[in-house]
Structure 1
């Protein structure tokens, strides 16, 4: 007999945990088994005024959200929050029920600004030490490589730097002449000056970009160190 499923579901009743709906082999389940952020509140407590203002986002929720975006390949905060609204695995991973309203995407931006790069570096290094102590990473053999990341800017934000007139009026060195030929200094991004013009072997077109240099453990693929530079920095350096 041909079946038919009625789609008019006015209310949702659920008994049990969201964990029951997430498969055991899901990446967020695997990470949750070993993830311990109980120390995070104490680490960032000095950045908040006790007893004043509205209650902020739980620091562990913020880090878990960012980690979920990284593991699921979601780059933009706005898209991450939209995905978390309908993704049961993300809601369970950050400890939010189906009825709870998620934080605004702009809250993650403010948290990054408040905590700063050094604070995130501390969180990263502490997590790395836990991996080494648990023998998840050994660090005996490592691989170092760089990935070119295109800056999130439009082509209209690029401006031509008028270096020709300056170098013609002044004596240019040999290195400056070579730089002019590469085109590296011919355009700059006015909205994101840190993004320099660069290219890779597959894409010959110069684009405003950054470069992520990563050190990865050979045995388990755990990232041991990372550094982000402008796109023109050679990974051989």
Structure 2
């Protein structure tokens, strides 16, 4: 049964809080400035209004989860500390004589919230920032950060063995006799097999799949299909502990196994939208969806800054479709530099190694073909190294995408400097709030962790902005 959030404290609790707790503590500032009452509205359908045992108020449970992600505590640890930590009790609005939730209550509440509801909770916090006038709505920073899966990495041989063990255990629970007979048969056939280890593991796995198919147990079908995907290499399953995790690369030489958090951040430092991606997904392909999330929430921006991994015609057009300017470095700018032909953005011309300037340009395949004077080229001492056999003048191609990037180098450098803010936010998420590694297994559970951790960091940012604004001197009238 739904229980209302306690709006007021007893005189005794209020006196203790004022007496023992520091007035300037960040948690007390959050309690003062952030309204969490929207949680009851978002979770109303999860409770009966009139039947059942009284439950803990949803807002209190969310505040306890907030503490867990704020201090990077496990459910067991935060439930234990809530029993005797006066600061935690004050923040979650539990009186000294109130019972507090145990860790299993937190697990059930978080599971009932689910990822979609947690995303809405994050949106409600962003909306509060908008109502308080904290969102700037100017330059939007976009980037992704890596989250390592909560699972040991397995090679193919270990993975096949683990898959067979899991399938055998499930089979034994349904039909122990047939499973044991199959196990004995496999042991006899493959104990002295001369094949290499991996080939033997693959044959063992295929033999087991054939035996399961012959037994015809429909209860094993889902697990059987997962094992078959591992054997065939299709579907991307590379770990049984966390089958949703995928291999990706932090950079060209550093692989990782897990997920990515893809975020869009306002110039104020408040993250407005988040996506959860598998490790093998490229965040650049999901930029249009992320910007659509921002627009649906009523968030506006004048430019979008991202690294060169987002450089594509589709992404630039998606940004322009929202009336914003793309501030993305070109992937091909380095290639142009190697040609020794320097582009002059102000004049929109090229200068060759012989210090001659292009005399004109003509449209060509989504860009322009810049050409030099035939007279200059024919009289140039470098022409044998510069021109082809049938060329009478030099031509240089420049795409619209690269041209736009080169013409706005100064503002682009400033934008890329501002983009470091989102990297600092990612560092904060990982160093202080545990987002470098997944707490849970499965993409939907990791999504819950991501949304609630970003909620915590947004709340911190909102309070810091409010306090910073309040501390500024008021100009004399």
TM-score by structure 1 length?
A: 0.72
Q: Could you say what secondary structure the match of 1:145 adopts? A: strand
Task: Tell me how far apart the structure 1 counterparts of residues 14 and 132 of structure 2 sit (CA, whole Å).
Answer: 36
Matched, 1:133 2:131: yes
1:31 Cα offset (Å) = 1.4
Task: Tell me how far apart the structure 2 counterparts of residues 121 and 186 of structure 1 sit (CA, whole Å).
Answer: 26
Equivalent runs, 1:77-156 vs 2, <5 Å: 77-155=75-153
CA RMSD of aligned residues (A): 3.3
Matched, 1:33 2:32: yes
Equivalent runs, 1:166-177 vs 2, <5 Å: none
2:173 corresponds to: none
1:80 Cα offset (Å) = 2.4
Alignment deviations for residues 14-57 of structure 1 (CA, whole Å, 9 cap, x no partner): 88232543323322122112211234323322221233322222
- For these two proteins, the number of residue pairs brought into alignment is 204
1:202 Cα offset (Å) = 10
Task: Tell me how far apart the structure 2 counterparts of residues 203 and 23 of structure 1 sit (CA, whole Å).
Answer: 48
Task: Give yes or no for contact 1:19–1:92 (8 Å, CA) kept in 2.
Answer: no
| Structure of greater relative contact order (alpha carbons < 8 Å, 6+ residues apart) | 2
Larger Rg: 2
2:22 corresponds to: 23
2:359 corresponds to: none
2:246 corresponds to: 196
2:332 corresponds to: none
Alignment deviations for residues 80-130 of structure 1 (CA, whole Å, 9 cap, x no partner): 223333433221100123443321112222122223222222222122111
In structure 2, relative to structure 1, the CA distance for the partners of 1:56 and 1:231 (3 Å cut) is same
Task: Tell me how far apart the structure 1 counterparts of residues 240 and 88 of structure 2 sit (CA, whole Å).
Answer: 36
1:209 corresponds to: 258
Task: Give yes or no for contact 1:159–1:187 (8 Å, CA) kept in 2.
Answer: no
In structure 2, relative to structure 1, the CA distance for the partners of 1:194 and 1:186 (3 Å cut) is closer
Q: Could you say what secondary structure the match of 1:189 adopts? A: coil
Q: Could you say what secondary structure the match of 2:124 adopts? A: helix
2:293 corresponds to: none
Task: Give yes or no for contact 2:245–2:278 (8 Å, CA) kept in 1.
Answer: yes
Task: Give yes or no for contact 1:214–1:223 (8 Å, CA) kept in 2.
Answer: yes
1:72 Cα offset (Å) = 2.4
Structure number with higher helix proportion? 2
In structure 2, relative to structure 1, the CA distance for the partners of 1:153 and 1:20 (3 Å cut) is farther
1:63 Cα offset (Å) = 1.3
Matched, 1:58 2:57: yes
1:233 corresponds to: 281
Task: Tell me how far apart the structure 2 counterparts of residues 217 and 53 of structure 1 sit (CA, whole Å).
Answer: 43
In structure 2, relative to structure 1, the CA distance for the partners of 1:14 and 1:80 (3 Å cut) is closer
Task: Tell me how far apart the structure 2 counterparts of residues 156 and 99 of structure 1 sit (CA, whole Å).
Answer: 49
1:218 corresponds to: 267
